[in-house]
Structure 1
Amino acid sequence: MSTYAVTGASSGMGRAVAAKLASAGHTVIDVDIVDATVTADLSTPAGRDRAAAAVLELSGGRLDGAVMAAGLGPAPGRDRPRLIGEVNYFGVVDLLDAWRPALAEADRAKVVVFASNSSTTVPMVPGRAVRAFLDGDLDRVLGTLRIFGKQAPTFAYAASKIAISRWVRRTAVTPEWAGAGIRLNAIAPGAVLTPLLEKQLATPAEARQIKRFPVPIGGFGDAEQLADWVVFMLSDSADFLCGSVVFVDGGSDAWFRADDWPRPVPARRLRGYLNRMRAFRR
C-alpha cells in the first residue's frame, strides 16, 4: 500500500479523494485548515511551512503521491484576491517544492494538482497577473488586478488556475520531476456539486449566473466521480501521463474553444523547440 498527502481533504473533492484512497487501504495524510491530521492555514507562509514539515515527518520522508485539492473560490471581500493567490497557487507550489525529495524517494510517484476550467473559460484575465504568479510575486499580481474592483476575486481565481496549470506543464517535464520518476499532472474540473457550489447556488444572483454558464451535457459534476479520475491519475495506469491538464467539465472547455487546441508548434518558435530537443537528448 502507498502513502499519499491530500490537501483540502476536509470537504468537497479533496474529501472524496481521501476517502477513496483510505478505503483502498492506502495511508492518507490529510491536510486542511480544520478537521485534519495536519491542520494548517495554507494562506500563510508559516502555515505552508507547517504543513510541509508535518507531512514529511508523518510520511518518514517518502511519499508515493500527493493530491493538491485545497483551494478558495471567488467570494466577495477586499482581501479575497490575496487569499486566493496564497492558497490556490503558493499552497500548491510551496508544498510540492518541499515534498519533491520525498516523492523522488518513491517508485513512480504521482501528483495530481486541482486546476479548473476557469483557466480557459474566463475572458480578459490579464497575462501580467499570470506571469507575476509564475514569478512568485503576489504583490504584483494584486496590483494588476486592482482595476477590476469588486470583480477582482473572479480574475484572481482564474489567474491562479492558469498559473498553476502552466507551472504544472513547465515543471512536470524537468529532470527534477519527470527525470526523478515523478509524474505531475493536473485535473481541471468544471462546476462540481460541492459545499462551495451549494453555497453559491443559495445566492439568487450567483445561482442565475452559474446556471447560464454553458455545460453541454447539462447539470453539475459529482465529487465522487471526480475523485475516481484522481485515483486513476495516481495509479500505475497513469505512468505515461506527464504534464497533462485533464478537463472533466461536462464539455464547457470544448464549447468555448473547440478550435483552439490542439495546435502545432508555431514556426516562429521552431528554433527554441529544436534547442530544447537537443538539450533533452543530451
Structure 2
Amino acid sequence: MSTYAVTGAASGMGRAVADKLAAGGHTVITVDIAEATVRADLSTPAGRRAAATAVLERCGGRLDGAVLAAGLGPAPGRDRPRLIAEVNYFGVVDLLEAWRPALAAADAAKVVVFSSNSSSTVPMVPGRAVRGFLEGDIERVLRTLRVFGKQAPTFAYAASKIAISRWVRRTAVTKEWAGAGIRLNAIAPGAVLTPLLEQQLATPAEAKQIRRFPVPIGGFGDPGQLADWVVFMLSDAADFLCGSVVFVDGGSDAWFRADDWPRGVPARRLRGYLRRMKEFRAAP
C-alpha cells in the first residue's frame, strides 16, 4: 500500500479523496486547518512550512503521491483576494517544492493538483495577475486586482487557478519532476455539490447566477465521482499522464472553448518551439 498526503481533506472533494484512498488501504496524511492529521493554516508562509515539515516527518521522507485540494472560493471580503492567493497558489507550490525530494524517493509518484474550470471560463482575467503568481510576487497580484473592487475575489480566484494550471504544466515536464519519475497533473472541476456550493445556493442572488452558468449535461458534479477521477490519476494506469489539466465539469469548458483547444504551434512561436526541442534532445 502507498502513502499519500491530501490537503483540504476536512471537507468537500478533498475529504472524498482522502476517504477513498483510506478505504483502499492506503496511508493518508491529511492536511487542513481543522480535523486533520496535520493541522495547519496554509494562508501563511509559516503555516505552509509547518505543514510541509509535519508531513515529511510522518511519511519518513517518502511519499507515493499527493493531492492538493485545499482552496478558497471567491467569497466577499476585503482580505479575501490575499487569502485566495496564499492558499490556492502558494499553498500548492510551497508544499510541493518542499515535498519533491520525498516524492522523488518513491517509485513513480503521482501528484494531482486541484485547478478549476474558472481557469478557462472567467473572462477578462488580467494577465499581469497571473504573471505575478508565477513570479512569486503576491503584492503585484493584489495591486493588479484592486481595480476590480468588490469583484476582486472572483478575479483572484480565476487568476490563481490559471496560474496554478500553468505552473503544473511548466513544472511537470522538467528533469526535476518528470525526470525523477514524478507524474504531476491537475484536475479542473466545474460546479461540484460541496458544502461551499451548497452555501452559495442558499443565497438567492448567488443561486440564480450559478444556475444560469452553462453546464451542457445539466446539474452539479458529485464529490465522490471527482474523487474517483483523482484516484485514477494516482494509479499505475496514469503512468503516461504528465502535465495534463483534466476538465471534469459537465461540458462547460468545451461549451465556452470548443474551437480554442487543441491548437497548433503558431508561427510566431516556432523559433522557441524548435529551441526547446533542441534543448530536450541535448539533455542528459
TM-score band by shorter chain is over 0.9
SS class of match (2:66): strand
Q: Which runs of 5+ in 1 are unaligned?
A: none
Say which SS state the counterpart of residue 5 (structure 2) adopts. strand
Q: What letter corresponds to residue 204 of structure 1 in structure 2?
A: P
Q: CA deviation at 1:278?
A: 1.1
Shift of 1:281: 1.2
Counterpart of 2:180?
Answer: 180
Paired AA for residue 125 in structure 2? V
Aligned to 2:246: 246
Separation (CA, whole Å) in 2 of partners of 1:275 and 1:120: 28
Pairwise CA distance, 1:271: 1.1
- Shift of residue 30 of structure 1? 0.2
Partner Cα separation in structure 2 for residue 56 and residue 126 of structure 1: 36
Distance in 1, matches of 2:262 and 2:63, equals 33
Does residue 255 of structure 1 match 2:275?
no
Q: Which region of structure 1 is more displaced relative to structure 2, 270-279 or 224-233?
A: 270-279
Aligned twin of 1:150: 150
Which residue in the other structure is 1:217 paired with? 217
- CA shift, 1:38, in A, is 0.0
TM-score (ref. length: structure 1): 1.00
| Correspondences of 1:1-282 after superposition (within 5 Å) | 1-282=1-282
CA distance in 2, matches of 1:16, 1:77: 28
Instruction: Provide the rounded CA distance (Å) in 1 between the counterparts of 2:277 and 2:257.
Output: 29
SS at match of 2:261: coil
TM-superposed CA distance for 1:262, in Å, is 0.2
* Offset of residue 273 of structure 1: 0.7
Question: Per-residue displacement from partner, 1:176-199 (whole Å, max 9, x unpaired)?
Answer: 000000000000000000000000
Letter of the structure 2 residue corresponding to residue 18 of structure 1: A
| Aligned-CA RMSD value | 0.3
How many residue pairs get aligned? The number is: 282
Equivalents in 1 of 2:203, 2:75: separation in Å?
Answer: 12
Distance 2:168 2:162 in 1: 10
Shift of 1:54: 0.2
Shift of 1:158: 0.1
3-state SS in 2 of match to 1:6: strand
Secondary structure of the structure 2 residue equivalent to 1:184: strand
Q: Percent identity?
A: 87
Unaligned residue ranges in structure 2 (runs of 5+): none
Residues 209-246 of structure 1: per-residue CA shift (max 9 Å, x gap): 00000000000000000000000000000000000000
Residues in 2 aligned to 1:64 and 1:278: alpha-carbon distance in whole angstroms: 32
Distance in 1 (alpha carbons) for counterparts of 2:277 and 2:178:
15
Give the aligned residue type for 2:274.
L
Q: CA deviation at 1:131?
A: 0.3
* Equivalent residue letter for 2:272: G
Deviation per residue, 1:143-167 (Å, 9 max, x gap): 0000000000000000000000000
TM-score of the two chains, using structure 2 as the length reference? 0.99
Stretches of 4+ aligned residues off by more than 3 angstroms: none
Secondary structure at the residue paired with 1:107?
coil
State the Cα distance separating 1:268 from its structure 2 match. 1.2
Post-superposition offset of 1:61? 0.3
Can you list the C-alpha shifts for 1:57-94, whole angstroms capped at 9, x where unaligned? 00000000000000000000000000000000000000
Equivalent residue letter for 1:244:
S
How far does the alpha carbon of each residue in 1:17-72 deviate from its partner, in whole angstroms, 9 at most, with x for none? Answer: 00000000000000000000000000000000000000000000000000000000
